[in-house]
Structure 1
Amino acid sequence: MANASALSPARLDEVHKVGSAAIRLALVGVGKIARDQHLPALARNPAFELVAAVNRDGPLTHVSTFSDIAAMLASGIEVDAVSLCTPPACRYELAREAIEAGLHVMLEKPPAASVAEVHDLEQRAQQRGLTLFTTWHSREAAGVEPAREWLSERTIESVRVTWKEDIRVWHPGQHWILQAGGMGVFDPGINALSILTRILPDKLTMRSATLEYPSNWESPIAAEVAMSHGSAARVQASFDFLYSGTPCWDIEVLTDEQTLLLAEGGSRLYIDEMPHLAAADQEYARLYQRFAELIAAGNSDVDSTPLQLVADAFKLGHRQQSAAFHF
């Protein structure tokens, strides 16, 4: 039968040992992000064995594929953990089903459609003694931790975020992203918010937002938001899903001494326009390594702060209607 409880003491001992049996993982939702990032990261990580997939759009090669989690559990395949890569609107129900089956859960960002769902999943995982990991992949970009350390020693005066990309290039045909619960431009924008809430030493508070909705969709395709950091610093962010050309994923922080720039989603760090750090993408490799460590230690890592900021932007936002958008 499929695993119906947390890892047994004997299997936990195996996980702790170098060269031990891998954590048996099922990938749930095999869309673009799963194929581009999750599958390559899993293939390179000996801590995991991909034993199953749950996918409504057809089977994966070389791995047993099921139409839903219930069918996977009934199949007899032994599974220890799942990684959920579905759209956020259905992620809560899937995560809850996995937790009730005794499986550790890793959630693609954003972890759910609402903060309340995240809190409920956290409580359920804690009650069952299971690991819940709400991932924020952009926090794993090479420049994020050096930026956090550098900013901790300085006074922040202002922050400017420019996060612009072409939805047709980066999310081709993904209609769910502009449907209710899809978050629209905040799906990529939340990556910037996850970095901000990691590198800035004080709390971010949403102050105002202007949200642009296409006349034929239910989620914004562009947004301008204003936040405050600590008692004084202003944080401005521009999010755009209709930006053609090279995408721009930049965060500029003006301090009392110098100006820091995190460019290309955090992979490049500049101080006063001078290159300080540049590194290849290892975001998902680091996420899966962290998931393995959490399972071995019997811990969870749950943070809904970026999602709360998005919720606040929707609550405070002034809505503007724009022309219809078609993929």
Structure 2
Amino acid sequence: MTPISLGLVGLGTIARNQHLPALAATPALSLAAIASRNARLDDIAAFYDVAALLASDVRVDAVSLCTPPQGRFAQAQAALRAGKHVMLEKPPGASVSEVQALAQLARDRGVTLFATWHSREAAAVEQARTLLANATIQRVDIAWKEDVRHWHPGQEWIWEAGGLGVFDPAINALSILTRILPDPVHPTGAILEVPANKQAPIAAQMSMVTGAGAPVEAVFDWRQTGPQTWDIRVQSDLGEVVLQEGGARLVVAGVAQINASDAEYKRLYARFVDLIARGQSDVDLAPLQLVADAFLLGERRVVEAFVE
């Protein structure tokens, strides 16, 4: 079978650390071109932007976008209009409505659009989903705390409007939450702590509730140094079900069930290949909608300026 020829747009940290190794491990995909303003790869056709890539003679069947969410709509729109299958790094866009528009365009053009949530591919997420499918959820607590200076050094876009701030990592927790719970959730309130010199929050608290009335409390913080915290604790009639280390580790009623290494992006690209083969799209906007709701409902509190 001829591999799917793919163009990778954006060659920053996430592309180099995750996308390139995952592509190399996916025989059904062949990296044919790079579009990046500042970076190149040896022996791979390189272009300044996606427009130049699409206008070239290099054949690409699909495009994977690893650029910041601001401005990504135009890139995805151009690729879809050119008849290319498109994979979106998370968050899939700067707004819910723009991704909805892309989904409609993909349907109209008969191509695949895949809005990815890499944390859903963590090793323990699907088993947690299966365990909780018929459980009675009593309460959920999320603690997602990390050091922005370590994970996003010098990335100013993430502090700008549309960059999400602390919700860039927090949306990973929300993507897991909306995958494992058998009942939808909606926010009832939020507090957004915004540095005096930035547009996006450095910390946030969200109060949510499931359709059955169980409370969900989340604390997100970008100021944690030392060991990082990525935990979701679900109290249920099965006992406590805990996802740790971003979904890589599962503990049920105090007993460890899964503790596995990272293969999230390999699974994402395998899913992309499968969606293309089936002529389907996968655009679940539930995590992004929760973030949008937090900004709608959130009380904004100005905190001390952030200095890199």
Fold shared, TM-score > 0.5 on shorter chain: yes
AA at the equivalent of 1:255 = S
Indicate whether 1:250 and 2:264 are aligned: no
- Deviation, 1:74, is 2.4
Indicate whether 1:322 and 2:303 are aligned: yes
**How far apart in 2 are the matches of 1:245 and 1:92?**
36
Partner of 1:298: 279
**How far apart in 2 are the matches of 1:137 and 1:58?**
24
- Deviation, 1:231, is 2.5
Give the secondary-structure state (helix, strand or coil) at the position aligned to 2:215.
strand
Give the secondary-structure state (helix, strand or coil) at the position aligned to 2:71.
helix
**How far apart in 2 are the matches of 1:57 and 1:128?**
31
Deviations 1:225-264 (A, max 9, x none): 0000122200000000010011100000001230010000
User: Taking structure 2 as the reference length, what is the TM-score of the superposition?
Assistant: 0.99
- Deviation, 1:21, is 1.0
Partner of 1:280: 261
- Deviation, 1:91, is 1.1
AA at the equivalent of 2:178 = T
**How far apart in 2 are the matches of 1:37 and 1:90?**
22
- Deviation, 1:316, is 0.2
- Deviation, 1:169, is 0.4
Partner of 1:128: 109
Partner of 2:25: 44
Indicate whether 1:111 and 2:92 are aligned: yes
Is residue 54–residue 79 contact of structure 2 (8 Å, CA) maintained in 1? no
AA at the equivalent of 1:135 = T
Q: CA RMSD in A?
A: 0.8
Give the secondary-structure state (helix, strand or coil) at the position aligned to 1:217.
coil
Give the secondary-structure state (helix, strand or coil) at the position aligned to 1:194.
helix
AA at the equivalent of 2:76 = A
Give the secondary-structure state (helix, strand or coil) at the position aligned to 1:292.
helix
**How far apart in 2 are the matches of 1:152 and 1:101?**
40
Alignment of 1:33-112 (within 5 A): 33-112=14-93
Stretches of structure 1 lacking an aligned partner (at least 5 in a row):
1-19
Moved more, 64-73 or 94-103: 64-73
Give the secondary-structure state (helix, strand or coil) at the position aligned to 1:24.
strand
Runs of 4+ in structure 1 displaced over 2 angstroms? none
**How far apart in 2 are the matches of 1:263 and 1:199?**
14
AA at the equivalent of 1:133 = F
Is residue 238–residue 253 contact of structure 2 (8 Å, CA) maintained in 1? no
Partner of 1:6: none
Partner of 1:217: 198
Is residue 34–residue 47 contact of structure 2 (8 Å, CA) maintained in 1? yes
**How far apart in 1 are the matches of 2:107 and 2:135?**
37
- Deviation, 1:40, is 0.4
Deviations 1:89-113 (A, max 9, x none): 1111100010111110000001000
Partner of 2:291: 310
Deviations 1:103-137 (A, max 9, x none): 10000001000110111000000000000000000
Partner of 1:3: none
AA at the equivalent of 2:144 = W
- Deviation, 1:61, is 2.1
